[in-house]
A and B are shown apart, each in its own frame.
Chain A
Amino acid sequence: MTTPTSPGPGGVRLADLAQVIRSKNAGPTQLTIDIFLNDAQAYAQASQSPAMSCAAVARRYGMDPAQVQRHLIPGIHAIKFVLPRQVVAGSPGDGDVYGAQQHVPMLEVRL
């Protein structure tokens, strides 16, 4: 499934190695981002990439690295990030009550 990793300018796109990249609330105060990689090789490449560290993801979302948690689930080739929501879901000023469109910055990640 995974195409040979020949990083072009800026590296391989995470979106090309993952079958699912999604975000959703885990309750109204947290956002969870789930990434399901295509296979074990893609998982190994993604989980070891500096672009997939808590610090790198925190930068993408404009947060402090200490606010981001990462869970690795090798058995199903999954990587999960948990971030605080900037606005409690549904409070005035929120733009995404379910948090279902906050995965987009991850589509741009290059490993």
Chain B
Amino acid sequence: MNAVARLRQWHRPADGPLRVLAASGQLGYGIPEPALRRGMARAPHFVGCDMGSIDPGPYYLGAGEMAAPAEMVYRDLDLVLCAALDAGVPLVIGSAGTAGARPHLEAVVAVLRRIADARSLRFRLVTVSSDIAAERVVGAIDAGQLVPIGAIDMPSAQQVHGCSHIVGQCGTDTLMQALALGADVVLAGRACDTAIFAALPVMLGYPMGLALHMAKIIECTSLCCQPGGRDAMLAELTMEAFTLESMNPDAHATPASVAAHALYEQADPLSVEEPEGVLLLDEAQYEALDAHRTRVRGARFVARDKPSVKVEGASLVGQRVVLLAGVADPGFLDRLPQALGLVEQRVRALVPGDWAVYPHIYGQGAVRPLAEGTLRAGEAGLVLEFIAPQVALARTAAGVFKQNLLHYGYPGRKSTAGNLAFAFTPSEVDAHAAYRFVLYHVMQDVSTIDLFALNAIDVDGQHVH
């Protein structure tokens, strides 16, 4: 019998609290092992891990690559897979491989198979595919059912089709369908962070509002504690409340630290949009059980008639080459922005083609706009980003730009031998391709049943030995 089926057969909400262990909020960056071991010693009913986010930017979704280092992904997956299988409890992982599109999901399944082979493990894996066909998004635009989240343009049909990957954030309902297939491990492509931890409790009969609120807090593990950290976090859920406890004895979940966490990366701290409805936290109460633990109650959930799904899509902008240099001459520092504009004109005359340059002048407002009087610093760091359809063109533009900027002459110039300091040469470096988000929208009134494909796989690492 698989782990989900066992849990459904043996656990009733009246039996006592459901123990949920959040093992990682960013799987692949090194799960702290002592806290994970302490968490497993508490006999959790299931283990959850978040593996992705939109925060690292459009590259990972666009290119289909993981942000976390492959070796550390293997190490972390090995830890949680063995821990969950040894304990005979379900493992739920969401937002596979950073961005949760097909290549990310496939890459993580491949790692799970490698671990299974290396350790002779057998388990039933259910995957959730989060990829959404471009036609489906275009259909939503035509039906007036695609709404931007914040300041992003409504894309044309052509731009939607130009996305290399489009994913939807699957929610609690979808993960419940995946769990219902019977699994030891559920691996979702792009998923709401909450769904990873809320789906099993809701399936077992716990209230949606409470389960989602618990999930919302523990998906970042011990970040909700004082001091915040990355150690495993345990939640004990009943029908009325949940208790939060870090598996690091020095990280304390206090009412203030837990309530403050509701603000993190969240536009509205009291109302959280989920595919199935809205989680309302205005009546949530936080109460210290002792110096280390906090009990939370009072979250409400208001379902909507038809689900809404957040969609994310990224498309290729071009190939990127960066030029790195330093500037220290005060006269050149004063006129750096103008110099860059004039050099760009010269280079355009020499290097035709569809290339673009994006200057980042560190020390002179690259991070945020600086007031006029504060601009002049002792030196500035120059990162010039060149983006072109072909890498060769980006390299050519960067190389020609470099030499023209190095020897750019201006009235009153004293340093006639060169304007730039290079820490190394070649100072122009091939960077990764440039992508941009085309989609960060809500698709309204969708049927999630046919949006997210489920697939059950019996992984057998014993046959190879």
Are A28 and B368 in contact, with the CB atoms below 8 A? Answer: no
Residues A92 and B59 in contact, CB atoms below 8 Å apart: no
- Contacting A at CB under 8 A, from B432-465, are 434-437, 440
**Minimum CB–CB distance for A76 against chain B, Å:** 5
Interface positions of A from 63 to 111, Cβ below 8 Å from B: 69, 71, 73, 75-76, 78, 80, 82, 84-85, 88-93, 95-98, 101-102, 104-105
Which among A26, A85, A92 is the interface contact of B356 at CB below 8 angstroms? A92
Q: Give the Cβ gap from B80 to chain A, nearest Cβ, in Å.
A: 26
Question: A47 contacts the other chain (Cβ, under 8 Å)?
Answer: no
Flag if B368 contacts A95 (CB, 8 Å): yes
- Separation of A100 and B267 alpha carbons in the complex (Å): 15
Best-buried of B54, B55, B437 by chain A (most CB within 10 Å): B55
A97 lies within 8 A of B152 (CB)? no
A29 within 8 A of B: yes
B142 within 8 Å of A by Cβ?
A: no
Q: Are B436 and A88 in contact (CB under 8 A)?
A: yes
Chain A residues within 8 Å of B57, by CB: 28, 89-90, 97
| Inter-chain contact B269/A71, CB cutoff 8 Å | yes
User: Which stretch in A1-9, A10-18, A30-38, A51-59 binds the other chain?
Assistant: A30-38
In the bound complex, do residue B263 and residue A27 qualify as a contact, i.e. CB atoms below 8 Å apart? no
Residues of B within 8 A of A76 (CB): 256, 259-260
Contacts A29-B440, A82-B267, A84-B151: A92 and B54 contacting too (C-beta < 8 A)? no
Q: With both chains docked as a complex, state the minimum distance between the C-beta of A32 and any C-beta of chain B, in angstroms.
A: 6
Contacts of B151 in A (CB 8 A): 29-30, 84-85, 88
* Nearest CB in chain A: distance from B455 CB, A: 29
Is B424 in the interface zone, CB < 8 Å from A? Answer: no
CB pair A32 B436 closer than 8 Å: no
Chain A residues near B360 (CB, 8 Å)? Answer: 95
Q: Are A26 and B55 in contact, CB atoms less than 8 angstroms apart?
A: no
- B149 on the A face (CB < 8 A): yes
**Cα distance A67–B200 in the bound complex, in angstroms:** 39
Chain B residue contacts of A73, Cβ below 8 A: 259, 263, 269
Query: What residues on B are CB-neighbors of A98 within 8 Å?
Result: 55-56
Instruction: Please measure, in the bound complex, the distance between the C-alpha atom of A96 and the C-alpha atom of B362, giving whole angstroms.
Output: 12
Q: Mark B421-437, 1 if CB is under 8 A from A, else 0.
A: 00000000000001111
A96 in complex: contacting residue of B265, B269, B368, CB < 8 Å: B368
CB distance from A96 to the nearest CB of B (A): 6
- A101 smallest CB distance to B (angstroms): 5
Question: With A25-B55, A25-B265, A30-B267 known to touch, is A88 a contact of B437 (CB < 8 Å)?
Answer: yes
Q: Are A30 and B368 in contact (CB under 8 A)?
A: no
Contact across chains for B267 and A26 when beta carbons are under 8 A apart: yes
Q: Is B249 an interface residue (CB 8 A)?
A: no
* CB-based contact B437/A71 at 8 Å: no
Select which of A29, A36, A75, A102 is within 8 A of B149 by beta carbon.
Answer: A29
Q: A88-B436, A91-B437 are in contact. Are A26 and B266 (CB under 8 A)?
A: yes
Give every chain B residue within 8 A of A93 (Cβ-Cβ). Answer: 358
B58→A24 contact, CB < 8 A: no
B193 at the interface (CB under 8 A from A): no
B367 at interface (Cβ–Cβ under 8 A)? Answer: yes
Are B267 and A84 touching (Cβ within 8 A)? no
Taking CB atoms, residues of chain B closer than 8 Å to A30 are: 149-151, 267
CA of A110 to CA of B263, assembled, Å: 23
Report the minimum CB–CB distance from B93 to chain A (whole Å): 22
| A8 CB to nearest chain B CB (Å) | 21
Q: Is B377 an interface residue (CB 8 A)?
A: no
Question: B150, A92: Cβ atoms under 8 Å?
Answer: no
Known pairs A89-B57, A96-B368; A78 contacts B263 (CB<8 A): yes
Docked-complex contact B55 and A88, CB < 8 angstroms = no
Select which of B150, B264, B317 is within 8 A of A27 by beta carbon: B150
B58 touches A91 (CB 8 A): yes
Partner of B265, one of A24, A71, A90, A97: A24
Is B392 an interface position by the 8 A CB rule?
no
A94 nearest CB across to chain B (Å): 8
For A85, what are the chain B residues with a Cβ–Cβ distance below 8 Å? 150-151
Check B56 against A97 for contact (C-beta < 8 Å). yes
B263 partner residues in chain A, CB cutoff 8 A = 32, 34, 73, 78, 80
* Inter-chain pairs besides A30-B267, A90-B58, 16 sampled, C-beta below 8 Å: A26-B266, A27-B150, A28-B152, A32-B267, A34-B264, A69-B267, A73-B259, A73-B263, A73-B269, A89-B57, A91-B437, A92-B387, A96-B367, A98-B55, A104-B367, A105-B368
27 cross-chain CB contacts under 8 A? A20-B260, A24-B265, A25-B55, A27-B149, A28-B152, A28-B440, A29-B149, A29-B151, A30-B149, A32-B265, A75-B259, A76-B256, A76-B260, A80-B263, A80-B269, A84-B150, A85-B151, A88-B436, A89-B58, A90-B436, A92-B387, A92-B436, A95-B366, A97-B55, A97-B56, A98-B55, A104-B368
Q: Which residues of A contact B (CB under 8 A)?
A: 20, 24-30, 32, 34, 36, 62, 69, 71, 73, 75-76, 78, 80, 82, 84-85, 88-93, 95-98, 101-102, 104-105
